[in-house]
Amino acid sequence: MDHATSKDVTKKILDRKIIDLSHTLSADFPTLELPPEFSQAWAFKQEVISHYDDRGPAWYWNNFSCSEHTGTHFDAPIHWVTGRDYPNNTVETIDPQNFIASAAVIDASAEVAANEDWLLTVEYLQYWEARHGKIEPGSWVLLRTDWNKRIDNPAAFANLKEDGAHTPGPTQDAVEWLINERNVLGFGVETINTDAGQSFAWPLPYPCHTLMHGANKYGLQCLTNLDLLPPQGALIIAAPLKIKNGSGSPLRVLALIP
Amino acid sequence: MDHATSKDVTKKILDRKIIDLSHTLSADFPTLELPPEFSQAWAFKQEVISHYDDRGPAWYWNNFSCSEHTGTHFDAPIHWVTGRDYPNNTVETIDPQNFIASAAVIDASAEVAANEDWLLTVEYLQYWEARHGKIEPGSWVLLRTDWNKRIDNPAAFANLKEDGAHTPGPTQDAVEWLINERNVLGFGVETINTDAGQSFAWPLPYPCHTLMHGANKYGLQCLTNLDLLPPQGALIIAAPLKIKNGSGSPLRVLALIP
Ligand SMILES: Nc1ccccc1C(=O)C(=O)O
Ligand SMILES: Nc1ccccc1C(=O)C(=O)O
């Protein structure tokens, strides 16, 4: 590519519209609740270091704490036992070339409005491809459910009932198809879990965590604004913090729109 | 732009080489030390939630804590009292369109090897422009000093002596020129401070913090791998965490190379 063309591409990148797919990180953000016998992740907490005061006259800044899986966040293969032995399976070591990728955005908002436990099937994915084109290898598959619109009601966002969480997700077959037939980069959702809330009780529990990470693939959780993306053509920038041995990380996820 | 052209640009973006400008976040990473009368920022700390064990049989993850200015990080205008009244002056509210921008990379590694207190002047910037072309409005100015190569020796990285830190930075005139004559997006460095270590004692202390944030501009600190970037033509992706009222944030900084 000669210099003029390269400059031209740079201009076109800078001209693309950027959509922010990240929620605000605050103490109000709902955290995943696991059964009480398991250790829990920290919610987000902030404390002021100084605020233009005796503690620092000209500057304002905060300390903060959270978990690697708090807020809008990235799941690395090492997060799951099935992904533990891959080289470069942490947010520290994943090849950064993976942090920019295309996305296929599957709109199941109408289905999920009618059924909180709605499951993404192979059939649904094939019907989507018939309308929007094939899911490209190495691309994110992002499931739009409009779940993000529940964010101001943390109870509705977690949607915990006596028998566990009721949130949508992919079937085991759909996960296997995305891995084996489409070789995707990973799977992203608006909910707090890439797996359906009730999947803990399936023959293979948590198939998306188990199989995606078992195939060295990634997850994105608590995304927002997927309703602003085209079905195909968006570029996703999802670059987690370079946390030493990190299993994941809160991050800013951006989409570039043609 | 018709669909074919847009697809073509997308391919060209995905073909670009990505350079990671971020250090690993770990407990070993040196933190800024302010005079003892001021409150200090937390270093990075990590604690395991579960590691494929009783605490979580199939999953590994950590909690962590740090400050908004720990590790490779972004400074927002609200970080400094001079930037406190701008709208959208926090990492939560800055327009994400600013998170992708071109960079001018100023190589002062030879000068800094000879003099730890070396200062970037207007004259030096003008000489750089004569060789590499004008600094574009809205672009990052990144100062390469090879300071990142000290990272395995935290004492040499902080370089604190009896009279304070000895690290390079811009003169007040250079900061004013970058703001008023070039309208840059912000200023980024490999050191722990966008300002020279000795600038606390200048007539206008901390001119880069004071004037850049006072002009609603940004900072990047503790960058690495600037030696892998061309003087002009790199695109910088620097998208901080969307921390509520955040004055800054650790982040993954990426460069796209033509
Ligand atoms: N489903 C889970 C079970 C155990 C640990 C974490 C998760 C997550 O969803 C996560 O990655 O945030
Ligand atoms: N120079 C400073 C003085 C006070 C507070 C923070 C700083 C930083 O450099 C920072 O932004 O990391």
**B219-254 residue pLDDT tens:** 999 999 999 999 999 999 999 999 999 999 999 999
Q: pLDDT (tens digit, 9 = 90+) per residue, A40-90?
A: 999 999 999 999 999 999 999 999 999 999 999 999 999 999 999 999 999
Q: Specify the pLDDT at position B1.
A: 45
A7 contacts in chain B (CB < 8 Å): 233, 258
> How far, in Å, CA of A68 to CA of A73, rounded?
7
Q: Which residues line ligand 1 (CB under 6 A)?
A: A 32, 34, 69, 75, 79, 193, 195, 206, 209, 221; B 56, 59
Average pLDDT on B181-186 reads 98
Q: How confident is the model at residue A1 (pLDDT cuts 50, 70, 90)?
A: very low
Q: How confident is the model at residue A7 (pLDDT cuts 50, 70, 90)?
A: confident
Residue B43, SS3? coil
A79 is catalytic: yes
Picking from B72, B101, B66, the residue whose alpha carbon sits closest to that of residue B217 is B101
pTM of the predicted protein model: 0.97
Q: Specify the pLDDT at position B88.
A: 98
> How far, in Å, CA of A179 to CA of A94, rounded?
18
Structural tokens at position A159 = 């949607």
CA distance B93 to chain A (A): 9
Task: Identify which of B39, B46, B100 has the shortest CB distance to residue A50.
Answer: B39
Q: pLDDT (tens digit, 9 = 90+) per residue, B3-59?
A: 557 888 888 889 999 999 999 999 999 988 899 999 999 999 999 999 999 999 999
CA distance B55 to chain A (A): 5
pLDDT mean across residues, chain B: 96
| Burial state string for A64-88 with b = 16 or more CB within 10 A and e = fewer than 16 | bbbbbbbbbbbbbbbbbbbbeebee
For chain A, which residues make up each domain, given as ranges? 16-24+68-257
Task: Identify which of A34, A57, A258 has the shortest CB distance to residue B10.
Answer: A258
Query: What percentage of chain B carries pLDDT values higher than 70?
Result: 98
Neighbours of A115 (CB within 10 A): 11
A23 touches chain B (CB under 8 A): yes
* A5, pLDDT greater than 70: yes
Which residue do the tokens 């999920």 mark?
A: A112
* CA B70 to centroid of ligand 2, rounded, Å: 10
Are the beta carbons of B79 and A60 closer than 8 angstroms? yes
Are the beta carbons of B65 and B31 closer than 8 angstroms? no
Ligand number with the minimum distance to the CA of A38? 1
CATH architecture of A16-24+68-257: 3-Layer(bba) Sandwich (3.50)
Nearest CA to ligand 2 atom 12: B69
Q: Specify the pLDDT at position A31.
A: 87
Q: pLDDT (tens digit, 9 = 90+) per residue, A135-193?
A: 999 999 999 999 999 999 999 999 999 999 999 999 999 999 999 999 999 999 999 99
> How far, in Å, CA of A34 to CA of B201, rounded?
53
Q: How confident is the model at residue B2 (pLDDT cuts 50, 70, 90)?
A: very low
From the candidates B11, B40, B52, B63, which should be mutated to test the interface with A, based on the most A CB atoms within 10 A? B63
pLDDT mean across residues, chain A: 96
Q: pLDDT (tens digit, 9 = 90+) per residue, A92-123?
A: 999 999 999 999 999 999 999 999 999 999 99
Are the beta carbons of B164 and B197 closer than 8 angstroms? yes
What is the CATH code for B16-26+68-257? 3.50.30.50
Q: Specify the pLDDT at position B3.
A: 56
* CA B100 to centroid of ligand 1, rounded, Å: 31
Which residues between 61 and 100 in chain A have a beta carbon less than 8 angstroms from any beta carbon of chain B?
61-69, 71-72, 78-82, 84, 92, 96-97, 99-100
